[in-house]
Chains A and B, each alone.
Chain A
C-alpha cells in the first residue's frame, strides 16, 4: 500500500467499511508509518468536532411567518385536482400523450384501410402511364388492350373493396345435367 492508496481509504477505515483483508493491510501501513496513524486520529477528532457543532435554530417567529406566506400565496387547495399526476405524467404531459396516442391510432387506421373509394385507390396506386385517362388519350397504344386492362383492374378493385357484399351467382351457374 502506498501513500495515495492509504489516503483514499482513510474514511472507509474510520467508518469501518473496509473488508477484513483491506483493514489488515491498512493497519499494517499505520504501524509502519506513525505519522499516518496521527493523521487518522486527527481526522477522527475533526469529525467528532463537526458532529458537535452547535445547531442553529430558527427564529421564534418562523412558523408564524411561514403561515403568513402560505396564506398570501396564490395556492388554491382546489387546484390540487389539476396538479395530480396521471399515470406518472402531469396533466399537461398526460394531455400531450393522449393527443399523440389518438394521432397514432388515426394514422394507423389510415394506413391499414387507405380508402374505401376504389376510384381514389385506383388513382393513388396506378402510375400516370397506367391511368385509364392517359391510356385512352394515347394514340400510340392499342386502345382495346388498354381498355381491357382498365376494366380488369376495376373489377379486381371492386372485388377487393366489396368483400362483404355477397353476390348472387345462382342464375349464372349451370349444372351439367341442365
Chain B
C-alpha cells in the first residue's frame, strides 16, 4: 500500500469507497505495482478479497505483499483472501492434467467458444459468503484480463464477465472491482477494425469504470529516475458527475512509489 497514492486518490483503509470499478491499464510500462497496492490496501481495510492471478503464482504476490506489510498466507488461512491460482490452473487444463475444482473453473479454455461463466459464478460465490459475516465491502481483483484474450477468450466474453461482475459486485453487493488491462504497443489507429485487440477491451472498459489509472512509459524512452507517467481519471458515476483528470510521473522504489507533477522529479530539479 502506497501512502502517496492514497492521498492522491483521497482514500484510506478506514474509509473505503463502495461501488468502485477501478480500471488499471498500462502501455509500454508495468502497472503491476498498482495491483500490489490495491491488494494490500483492501486487505488492510478488512475487506474480503477475491484475487484472480493470471500472471504470477501465489508465492510471487505473497513475497511482494510481505514487503508491503501484508501477510497473504495468513489472510488466506483466515478466509479473508480467496486466491484463484489461474496461472497454474489454466496450464493444467490445457494439458488435461487435473480435474479438481480449480481446473473446472477454467474448463472454458477447452470449449470451442470460451466463455467465463464458471469463473464468474465461482468468484461470486466466494464473495457472497463473505457478505454475510462482515460489514466491509467485498472486492474482486483480476490481474490481468488481457491474458484471457491470449488464452483465446473473445473480447465480448471478457466484457460479459466484467459487466456481470460490475452488476453483481459493485451494484448488488456494494463492493469494488479492480482489473488490469495491458495494451498492445502498436498504435491505436492501426487496429481500428480489429475485433480482438486489447485496445478495444480497454476502450470498452473505460466506459464502464468509475476510476481509471492509466500507466504509460515516457515517450522519450527509458529513464532511471522517472519510470513513467500515470494518468488518474475520475469518471463520474450517476451521482457525482464531474469527471476530472490529473497527470503524474512516478518512480517505483523498493517499498514505495513516489508521485510528482510532470517535470518536477527530484533528479531534474
Our verdict on whether A and B bind, yes or no, reads no
Residues of A bordering B, CB below 8 Å: none
Residues of B bordering A, CB below 8 Å: none
